[in-house]
Amino acid sequence: MARHSKAEVHPKPQAARVRPAQSRAADLDRLIHEPVRLGIVSALAVNDTMTFNELKELLKTTDGNLSVHARKLEEGQYVACEKYFEGRVPKTEYRLTAAGRKALETYLDHMEALIRATRES
């Protein structure tokens, strides 16, 4: 029977330490965290309503990109969408819901905590 020398003995791996900043980053709301969606929610937080074209111009994005991200926020009930006609021209208008405002506040709180934890380390 072969004997193992001390040099061959492998120490047990220690559990990885999760730093506070890393755990806070994991808590971020992924629905809002994506840049275009964060832009939409932020813009609507300071404007009662915005049209599709206003958001598109502000965020410098394409129709398709804005449409996909706005729909995800609608599905998450963070924004509400109203479609109507102004004369013969179709309009799409968005507003932030109460759930969306709360989600943004929570997201900003998490980001501030992450920034503080990072600066303190």
Q: Is 117 exposed, middle or buried (CB count within 10 Å of its CB: 0-12, 13-18, 19+)?
A: middle
Residues ≥6 apart with Cβ < 8 Å to 90: 83, 84
State the pLDDT at residue 1: 52
pLDDT along the chain (121 residues), means of 10: 49 46 68 96 98 98 98 98 95 98 95 90 80
Q: Mind listing the domains of the chain with CATH numbers?
A: 28-120 (1.10.10.10)
Query: Is the pTM here over 0.85, yes or no?
Result: no
Residue 40 pLDDT: 98
